């Protein structure tokens, strides 16, 4: 098996940086990736206990121009989902750089090195810094990540046969005053979990529009799993919410869940989180090839 990029498998990072960029000079990307991977390896060697990880992932336009594009045959530009208040907008870029670890300082230094490696071959369009809250709770107060795959299942879900992974990054902007105006019971109904205990509602008691009902899905009896690496982000006095980040060996699993949240399915139902808590303000699909492929695009 090829080596997966290092920000995919490690769980429980406490800090992350996401950089979105467009590619100006395709001919310099290969060399930049080599320098970036070397910078990450140097940081990991210097701080071995910080779980420093780096993912470099590409949008469909750049990836499709490479000779190994069949390794991510499902990759496409983010199409946008839903309508009106329940809309997931597309803000597709060429490049996603995802850095995560146990230390914001290390993330910041590595991001500096990675951006130095790419130089003016790319233009950065967006930068987000994420942080872990106590008990791994989101800004909504609920524990996030409980049902994530564990152990060997992480690689089995996140990676395809070439050791690569599809990635989705969506920024969700929360309206915390609106959320807090809902009773705890209404918040719990929206997720289908209890807020303090994190206990899951029994299947028969889940609202059909609850987040779990919209994302815990099966096809032909098989659960559509994804590996989430989201963290809260933002400014206290400005935009804040969840930088929703998920990896999967199949883009299909991510897309089917999004369609169920945003009402692009037969039942037309939308996720209660979208009417009570949050709205999507960005969205892009990317492919993170194996390290071997990244060094030989
Ligand atoms: C579960 C929050 C967006 C997929 C959960 C849980 C919370 C949560 C609190 C329950 C605990 C857990 O298992 O992690 C949120 C918030 C979101 C968001 C606040 C946006 C602001 C999304 C999106 C997707 C997604 C966009 C998929 C495209 C899932 C999945 C589960 C889950 C697969 C586990 C379901 C299960 O098997 O029980 N989310 N989520 N979430 N979420 Fe989200």
Q: Which atom of ligand 1 is nearest to the CA of 144?
A: 14
Tell me if 193 CB under 6 Å of ligand 1: yes
Could you give the CA distance from residue 232 to residue 211 in angstroms, rounded to a whole number? 17
CA of 148 to the centre of ligand 1 (A): 9
pLDDT at 168: 99
- Confirm if 136 and 91 have CB atoms less than 8 A apart: no
Active site members = 144
Tell me if 258 CB under 6 Å of ligand 1: yes
pLDDT at 1: 74
Tell me if 244 CB under 6 Å of ligand 1: yes
Cα angle 219, 225, 227; round to 5: 165
CB-based burial label for 204 (10 Å; 0-12, 13-18, 19+): exposed
Report helix, strand or coil for 144. Answer: coil
Tell me if 169 CB under 6 Å of ligand 1: no
- Comparing CA positions, the residue from 297, 246, 234, 281 lying closest to residue 23 is 297
pLDDT at 85: 84
- Confirm if 283 and 58 have CB atoms less than 8 A apart: no
pTM, entire model: 0.98
Tell me if 157 CB under 6 Å of ligand 1: no
CA of 243 to the centre of ligand 1 (A): 12
CA of 280 to the centre of ligand 1 (A): 14
pLDDT at 248: 99
Q: Whose CA is nearest to atom 3 of ligand 1?
A: 244
- Comparing CA positions, the residue from 193, 167, 171 lying closest to residue 248 is 167
Could you give the CA distance from residue 252 to residue 150 in angstroms, rounded to a whole number? 21
pLDDT in tens, the chain (297 residues): 799 999 999 999 999 999 999 999 999 999 999 999 999 999 999 999 999 999 999 999 999 999 999 999 999 999 999 999 899 999 999 999 999 999 999 999 999 999 999 999 999 999 999 999 999 999 999 999 999 999 999 999 999 999 999 999 999 999 999 999 999 999 999 999 999 999 999 999 999 999 999 999 999 999 999 999 999 999 999 999 999 999 999 999 999 999 999 999 999 999 999 999 999 999 999 999 999 999 999
Task: Enumerate the H helices of the chain as residue ranges.
Answer: 29-46, 60-63, 104-118, 152-158, 176-181, 184-191, 211-215, 251-262, 272-276, 291-294
Two structure tokens written together for 29: 């990307």
**CA 151 to each of CA 155, 157, 194: distance values in angstroms, whole numbers, following the listed order:** 8, 11, 25
């Amino acid at each position: 098996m090829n080596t997966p990029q290092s920000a995919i498998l490690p769980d429980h990072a406490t800090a992350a940086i996401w950089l979105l960029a467009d590619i100006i000079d395709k001919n310099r990307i290969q060399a930049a990736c080599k320098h970036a991977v070397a910078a990450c390896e140097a940081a990991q060697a210097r701080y071995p206990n910080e779980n420093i990880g780096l993912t470099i992932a590409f949008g469909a336009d750049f990836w499709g121009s490479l000779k190994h594009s069949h390794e991510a045959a499902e990759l496409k530009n983010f199409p946008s989902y839903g309508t009106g208040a329940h809309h997931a907008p597309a803000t597709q870029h060429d490049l996603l750089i995802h850095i995560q670890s146990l230390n914001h300082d290390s993330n910041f230094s590595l991001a500096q090195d990675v951006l130095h490696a790419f130089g003016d071959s790319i233009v950065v369009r967006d930068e987000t810094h994420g942080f872990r809250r106590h008990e791994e709770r989101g800004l909504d107060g609920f524990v996030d990540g409980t049902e994530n795959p564990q152990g060997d299942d992480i690689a089995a879900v996140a990676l395809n046969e070439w050791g690569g992974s599809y990635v989705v990054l969506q920024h969700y902007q929360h309206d915390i005053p609106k959320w807090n105006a809902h009773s705890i019971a209404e918040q719990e109904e929206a997720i289908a979990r209890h807020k303090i205990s994190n206990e899951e509602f029994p299947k028969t008691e889940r609202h059909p529009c609850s987040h779990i009902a919209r994302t815990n899905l099966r096809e032909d009896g098989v659960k559509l799993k994804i590996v989430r690496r989201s963290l809260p982000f933002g400014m206290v006095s400005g935009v804040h919410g969840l930088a929703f980040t998920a990896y999967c060996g199949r883009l299909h699993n991510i897309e089917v869940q999004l369609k169920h949240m945003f009402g692009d399915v037969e039942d037309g139902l939308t996720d209660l989180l979208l009417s009570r808590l949050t709205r999507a303000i960005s969205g892009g699909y990317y492919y993170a090839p194996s390290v071997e492929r990244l060094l030989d695009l």
